[in-house]
């Protein structure tokens, strides 16, 4: 915007001088909002200003000027505009702009629908000359839409001309948006565990304690007490009380909690409630798959054709090249093509990003890896067949099969040998331009390109592939080896090119996933490579990294951009020989304590308290990642306060929040179901489904970076910066890196079902390896009965953590299923009296790190 002399047009009902339009309208009505983003062009063309292909836009002298061709027929044959403007039927809007022509021309300023049938709601036309005219008029919107647009139709002239426009404003009511938050008693709408914490929150004006009652499914009051006033909660702006009904340990369905004349949504108290969430959170990945038909037989209601397999109108992904010049000044593109079909679509868009793929697939693999090392875990729940995917029944745990779908894609993004950046990974592949909604993947007509390799992507590949190398060793040694080689090549390439950064400017048609600090990715990749290989060079790197001793558990949590915690968590929980490992384990517990303290300080029990007080994009995944840290502290320390903190954190996501809603589709009385996705776009097209059960919404985001959130949620307290609308991509998208901690945490919570059962403390196992010629080792395993009753008949099971294989075993009968080993007694040694031992030994083969198994189960119960 630049102050210029303006002539008020005769047709305008309100004539205003430049610069005061918005202020004046704001004075008119308190809830008036500016709906045009960057209508002053102070930020160049930011805000999504677009034009038809025959018009060239530029910002000149603080205004948008467009070179318009001559010889078009209709006004709409040349357009400059902005989309994604929400309008509310019956509400009044003031539309204004200032325009001129370098010589002469004609403009038709339209407020209309950006999609078919392109309804014009309102139009304001004027001839233009070099003197700037200000046009403004009010109108009443005819219908609700989140897909309104402001468009300047400048076609229809015989001669080419230059159109300039400035101070574009569409100001109007916010629609009086008030979320329906239902009863003021806020609970986990899914289930509490009978032996877990049971917390609720009451929104009330009362300043003193109030009585509460818990009623069972028949309406019988089964517990009562008084609330604890907590004052005004800064995350919601509400005066709240907390309610603690942990003392009730019964179980059943249809419980309600009553206080202050309000009755909560119903909920269960059920030890087995989270088994289905574990499965659904993991099943999410099949329906995110690219490059494969989604079968109705596997996901009824979710069938869709394979996307991006080189079949028109798709222009990818079987032979994708680079642009001549990488976007955003990235220099010359590559001169080869890659087959990058497959993988998961990132989120609601059809891009595939190595950075985000890396953390997502790693967290899936960690969900599986935890089942090898954590006492409260259930490998059977993650076994082959658990997820009903195309690979079910192939002898490999489904969770690893699902991970492999993404790993194959990550490997395909690696720059081939012989090329200048060989071993690096291309940062991403996506459409050249953003597409609208809905759009089934197979119908995406946009050209797609590989984007410039980045150090961050390369290290994501290194970390994920290194982890895959140890996890697949027991199931598919060739694939494991392929991953190991790729990981090592990626590491070497990242060391050789340590500072090739993705920039925020490379964000057209896909997310930028920009990151100019990759010290954390180096730390994470070194950790995974060390855990898999045990090699000294990775150990040296870890020990020399300042991040190895830094406090990596920040108040704002971790995500794709801050990955040091991934390395720290794995070094702490997966057995290894790193010097100083005890301190790393202690650091996880210390980090968890901070999140636990934050959670207890917050009356909604949110284990997330960023220093800014603002919630970030995808806050639900940050909450969940903090819970991963807390759960790991429980696995490390066995201290139940950490287990309980995870259970309480889940309450927030499933309804104990200011909006009184669950953020997981299909879970809870009132749950997110209109998440931003291009193919499960039921809100826009009734023939399409909503996102599948178990899909996590990004969640409250103080930044509100999308138009509908900006129109409706201005000034929101953090918890209110969310709307379950498909257009709200900054608060309500689904994403592979958001469901991955949901899967991890819901698996952890599902595993807590037996926590009240006494832990079998009747055995201990001593596992010692010695005499290691290269590639060979001998292990001696001693099982001691530390209980008071004779064990009569035993079977000891464990999982190898790397590529160990048993060649020959004495003193037991061995069976092997992938990485899982079971050794049974051989009759004569079946009885182990209290205080006595049995011993067996085996000759094994391995390469790389050879840690002792972390967890032994005797007759199904953890030992030690």
- Catalytic residue numbers? 349, 676, 724, 733
What is the Cα–Cα distance from 410 to 361, expressed in whole angstroms? 10
Rounded to 5 degrees, what are φ and ψ at 337? -120, 155
Picking from 741, 744, 775, 818, the residue whose alpha carbon sits closest to that of residue 479 is 818
Q: Which stretch binds ligand 9MR (CB under 6 A): 286-294, 484-492, 511-519, 846-854?
A: 511-519
Q: Is 839 exposed, middle or buried (0-12, 13-18, 19+ CB in 10 A)?
A: middle
Query: CB-wise, 98 or 349, nearer to ligand 9MR?
Result: 349
Question: Min. distance of Cβ 505 from ligand 9MR in angstroms?
Answer: 12
Question: Encoding tokens for residue 764?
Answer: 């201990």
Q: Which stretch binds ligand 9MR (CB under 6 A): 38-46, 87-95, 281-289, 510-518?
A: 510-518
Question: Encoding tokens for residue 624?
Answer: 């969940």
Q: Which stretch binds ligand 9MR (CB under 6 A): 282-290, 345-353, 456-464, 492-500?
A: 345-353
Tell me: does residue 349 bind ligand 9MR (CB under 6 A): yes
Q: Tell me the residue number closest to ligand 9MR, measured at CB.
A: 511
What is the Cα–Cα distance from 372 to 528, expressed in whole angstroms? 16
Query: CB-wise, 18 or 328, nearer to ligand 9MR?
Result: 328
Picking from 571, 537, 578, 534, the residue whose alpha carbon sits closest to that of residue 847 is 534
Query: CB-wise, 368 or 513, nearer to ligand 9MR?
Result: 513
Query: CB-wise, 505 or 807, nearer to ligand 9MR?
Result: 505
Question: Min. distance of Cβ 288 from ligand 9MR in angstroms?
Answer: 12
Q: Which stretch binds ligand 9MR (CB under 6 A): 344-352, 528-536, 547-555, 664-672?
A: 344-352
Query: CB-wise, 163 or 344, nearer to ligand 9MR?
Result: 344
Task: Give residues 232-251 in contact with ligand 9MR (rule: CB under 6 A).
Answer: none
Query: CB-wise, 559 or 727, nearer to ligand 9MR?
Result: 559
Q: Around Cβ 103, how many Cβ atoms within 10 Å? A: 11
| Tokens 């066995």, residue located | 638
What is the Cα–Cα distance from 214 to 681, expressed in whole angstroms? 38
Q: Which residues 6+ apart lie within 8 Å of 232 measured at CB?
A: 238, 239, 240
Query: CB-wise, 377 or 672, nearer to ligand 9MR?
Result: 672
Picking from 711, 704, 720, 726, the residue whose alpha carbon sits closest to that of residue 88 is 711
Tell me: does residue 506 bind ligand 9MR (CB under 6 A): no
Task: Give residues 791-820 in contact with ligand 9MR (rule: CB under 6 A).
Answer: none
Given 34, 166, 346, 669, the residue binding ligand 9MR (CB under 6 A):
346
Given 733, 755, 801, 855, the residue binding ligand 9MR (CB under 6 A):
733
Picking from 630, 663, 604, 857, the residue whose alpha carbon sits closest to that of residue 748 is 630
| Tokens 């995406």, residue located | 444
Q: Kindly report the three-state secondary structure assignment for every residue of 160-213.
A: CEEEEEEEEEEEEECCCCCCCCCCCEECCCCEECCCCCCEEEEECCCCCCCEEE
* 857 DSSP β-pair partners: 797, 862
Query: CB-wise, 617 or 842, nearer to ligand 9MR?
Result: 617
Question: Min. distance of Cβ 561 from ligand 9MR in angstroms?
Answer: 7
Question: Min. distance of Cβ 345 from ligand 9MR in angstroms?
Answer: 9
Question: Min. distance of Cβ 284 from ligand 9MR in angstroms?
Answer: 14
Q: Three-class SS of residue 716?
A: coil
Question: Min. distance of Cβ 713 from ligand 9MR in angstroms?
Answer: 16
Question: Encoding tokens for residue 504?
Answer: 């925020």
DSSP state of 325: B
Rounded to 5 degrees, what are φ and ψ at 444? -70, 115
Given 185, 735, 796, 858, the residue binding ligand 9MR (CB under 6 A):
735
DSSP state of 720: G
Question: Min. distance of Cβ 698 from ligand 9MR in angstroms?
Answer: 6
Question: Encoding tokens for residue 666?
Answer: 């299909």
Q: Which stretch binds ligand 9MR (CB under 6 A): 29-37, 142-150, 343-351, 796-804?
A: 343-351
Tell me: does residue 848 bind ligand 9MR (CB under 6 A): no
Task: Give residues 615-634 in contact with ligand 9MR (rule: CB under 6 A).
Answer: 617-618
Query: CB-wise, 95 or 353, nearer to ligand 9MR?
Result: 353
* 575 DSSP β-pair partners: none
Task: Give residues 454-483 in contact with ligand 9MR (rule: CB under 6 A).
Answer: none
- Maximum distance among all alpha carbons in the chain? 106
Question: Min. distance of Cβ 58 from ligand 9MR in angstroms?
Answer: 26
Given 307, 511, 699, 700, the residue binding ligand 9MR (CB under 6 A):
511
Query: CB-wise, 429 or 473, nearer to ligand 9MR?
Result: 429
Per DSSP, the residues of 46-80 read TTT-EE-TT-EEEEETTEEEEEEPSS--SGGGSEE
Question: Min. distance of Cβ 701 from ligand 9MR in angstroms?
Answer: 8
Query: CB-wise, 351 or 851, nearer to ligand 9MR?
Result: 351
**Stretch (H or E) spanning 99:** strand 92-101
* 431 DSSP β-pair partners: 448
Binding map of ligand 9MR across residues 536-565, x = CB under 6 A, - = no contact: -----------------------x------
Q: Around Cβ 611, how many Cβ atoms within 10 Å? A: 8
Q: Is 17 exposed, middle or buried (0-12, 13-18, 19+ CB in 10 A)?
A: middle
Question: Min. distance of Cβ 78 from ligand 9MR in angstroms?
Answer: 31
Question: Min. distance of Cβ 346 from ligand 9MR in angstroms?
Answer: 4
Tell me: does residue 347 bind ligand 9MR (CB under 6 A): yes
Q: Which residues 6+ apart lie within 8 Å of 856 measured at CB?
A: 763, 765, 767, 783, 796, 797, 798, 862, 863, 864
Question: Min. distance of Cβ 608 from ligand 9MR in angstroms?
Answer: 14
Q: How are strands ordered across the β-sheet holding 813-817?
A: 813-817, 820-824, 795-799, 857-858, 861-862
Residue count, binding to ligand 9MR (CB under 6 A): 14
Query: CB-wise, 125 or 705, nearer to ligand 9MR?
Result: 705
Question: Encoding tokens for residue 483?
Answer: 């991953």
Task: Give residues 194-233 in contact with ligand 9MR (rule: CB under 6 A).
Answer: none
Rounded to 5 degrees, what are φ and ψ at 599? -65, -45
Q: Which residues 6+ apart lie within 8 Å of 774 measured at CB?
A: none
Helix axes 536-544, 519-533, angle to 10 degrees: 150
What is the Cα–Cα distance from 644 to 755, expressed in whole angstroms? 11
Question: Min. distance of Cβ 308 from ligand 9MR in angstroms?
Answer: 15
Q: Three-class SS of residue 542?
A: helix
Q: Which stretch binds ligand 9MR (CB under 6 A): 46-54, 342-350, 399-407, 606-614?
A: 342-350
Tell me: does residue 741 bind ligand 9MR (CB under 6 A): no
What is the Cα–Cα distance from 623 to 821, expressed in whole angstroms? 36
Q: Three-class SS of residue 449?
A: strand
Q: Which stretch binds ligand 9MR (CB under 6 A): 18-26, 168-176, 589-597, 729-737?
A: 729-737
Binding map of ligand 9MR across residues 664-703, x = CB under 6 A, - = no contact: ----------------------------------x-----
Task: Give residues 558-617 in contact with ligand 9MR (rule: CB under 6 A).
Answer: 559, 617
Query: CB-wise, 457 or 647, nearer to ligand 9MR?
Result: 457
Tell me which residues touch ligand 9MR (CB under 6 A): 346-347, 349, 351, 511-513, 559, 617-618, 698, 729, 733, 735
């Amino acid at each position: 915007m630049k102050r210029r002399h303006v002539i008020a047009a005769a047709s305008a009902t309100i004539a205003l001088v430049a610069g005061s339009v918005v202020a004046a309208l704001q004075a008119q009505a308190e809830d008036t909002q500016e709906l045009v983003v960057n209508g002053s062009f102070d930020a160049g063309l930011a805000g999504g200003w677009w034009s038809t292909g025959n018009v060239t836009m530029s910002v000149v002298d603080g205004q948008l000027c467009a070179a318009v061709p001559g010889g078009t027929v209709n006004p709409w044959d040349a357009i400059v505009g902005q989309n994604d403007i929400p309008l509310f039927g019956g509400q009044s809007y003031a539309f204004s702009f200032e325009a001129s022509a370098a010589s002469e021309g004609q403009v038709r300023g339209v407020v209309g629908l950006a999609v078919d049938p392109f309804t014009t709601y309102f139009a304001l036309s004027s001839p233009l000359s070099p003197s700037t005219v200000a046009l403004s008029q009010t109108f009443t919107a005819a219908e609700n839409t989140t897909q309104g647009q402001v468009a300047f139709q400048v076609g229809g002239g015989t001669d080419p001309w230059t159109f300039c426009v400035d101070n574009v404003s569409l100001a109007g009511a916010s629609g009086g948006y008030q979320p329906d938050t239902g009863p003021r008693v806020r609970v986990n709408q899914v289930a509490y565990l009978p032996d877990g914490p049971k917390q609720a929150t009451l929104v009330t004006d009362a300043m003193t304690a109030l009585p509460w009652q818990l009623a069972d499914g028949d309406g019988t009051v089964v517990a009562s007490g008084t609330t604890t006033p907590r004052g005004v909660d800064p995350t919601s702006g509400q005066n709240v009380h907390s309610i603690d009904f942990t003392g009730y340990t019964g179980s059943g369905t249809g419980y309600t909690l009553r206080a202050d004349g309000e009755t909560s949504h119903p909920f269960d108290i059920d030890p087995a409630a989270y088994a289905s969430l574990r499965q659904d959170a993991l099943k999410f990945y099949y329906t995110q798959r690219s490059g494969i038909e989604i079968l109705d037989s596997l996901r009824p209601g979710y069938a869709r054709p394979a996307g991006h397999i080189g079949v028109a109108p798709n222009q990818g992904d079987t032979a994708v090249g680079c642009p001549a010049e990488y976007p955003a000044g990235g220099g010359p593109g590559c001169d080869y093509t890659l087959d990058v079909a497959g993988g998961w679509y990132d989120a609601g868009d059809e891009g595939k990003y190595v950075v985000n793929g890396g953390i997502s697939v790693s967290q899936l693999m960690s969900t599986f890896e935890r089942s090898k090392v954590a006492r409260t875990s259930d490998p059977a729940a993650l076994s082959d067949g658990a997820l009903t995917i195309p690979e079910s029944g192939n002898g490999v745990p489904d969770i690893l099969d699902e991970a492999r779908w993404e790993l194959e894609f990550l490997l395909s993004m690696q720059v081939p040998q012989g090329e200048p950046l060989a071993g690096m990974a291309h940062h991403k592949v996506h459409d050249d331009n953003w597409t609208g909604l809905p759009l089934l993947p197979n119908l995406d007509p946009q050209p797609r390109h590989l984007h410039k390799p980045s150090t961050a992507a390369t290290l994501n590949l290194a970390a994920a592939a290194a982890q895959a190398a140890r996890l697949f060793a027991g199931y598919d040694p060739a694939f494991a080896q392929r991953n190991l080689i790729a990981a090592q090549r990626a590491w070497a390439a990242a060391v050789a090119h340590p500072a090739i950064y993705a920039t925020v400017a490379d964000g057209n048609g896909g997310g930028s996933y920009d990151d100019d600090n990759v010290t954390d990715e180096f730390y994470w990749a070194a950790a995974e490579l060390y855990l898999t290989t045990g090699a000294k060079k990775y150990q040296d790197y870890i020990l020399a990294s300042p991040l190895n001793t830094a406090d990596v558990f920040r108040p704002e949590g971790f995500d794709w951009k801050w990955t040091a915690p991934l390395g720290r968590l794995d070094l702490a929980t997966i057995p290894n020989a790193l010097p100083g490992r005890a301190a790393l384990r202690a650091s996880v517990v210390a980090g968890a304590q901070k999140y636990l303290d934050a959670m207890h300080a917050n009356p909604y029990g949110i284990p997330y308290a960023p220093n800014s007080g603002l919630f970030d994009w995808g806050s639900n995944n940050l909450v969940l990642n903090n819970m991963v840290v807390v759960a790991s502290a429980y696995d490390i320390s066995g201290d139940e306060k950490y287990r309980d903190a995870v259970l309480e954190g889940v309450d927030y996501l499933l309804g104990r929040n200011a909006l009184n809603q669950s953020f997981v589709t299909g879970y809870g009385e009132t749950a997110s179901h209109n998440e931003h996705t291009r193919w499960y776009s039921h809100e826009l097209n009734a023939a399409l489904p909503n996102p599948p059960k178990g899909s996590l919404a990004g969640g409250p985001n103080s930044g509100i970076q999308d138009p509908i959130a900006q129109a409706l949620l201005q000034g929101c307290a953090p918890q209110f910066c969310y709307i379950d609308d498909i257009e709200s991509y900054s608060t309500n998208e689904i994403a592979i890196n958001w469901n991955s901690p949901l899967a991890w945490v819901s698996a952890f919570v599902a595993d807590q079902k037996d926590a009240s059962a006494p832990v079998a403390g009747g055995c201990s196992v001593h596992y010692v390896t010695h005499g290691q010629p290269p590639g060979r080792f001998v292990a001696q395993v001693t099982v001691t009965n530390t209980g008071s009753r004779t064990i009569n008949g035993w079977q000891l099971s464990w999982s190898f953590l790397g590529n160990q294989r048993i060649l020959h075993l004495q003193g037991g009968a061995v069976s092997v299923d992938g990485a899982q080993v079971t050794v049974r007694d051989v009759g004569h040694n079946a009885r182990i009296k209290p205080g006595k031992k049995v011993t067996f030994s085996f000759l094994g083969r391995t390469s790389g790190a050879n840690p002792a198994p972390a967890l032994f189960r005797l007759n199904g119960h953890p030992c030690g």
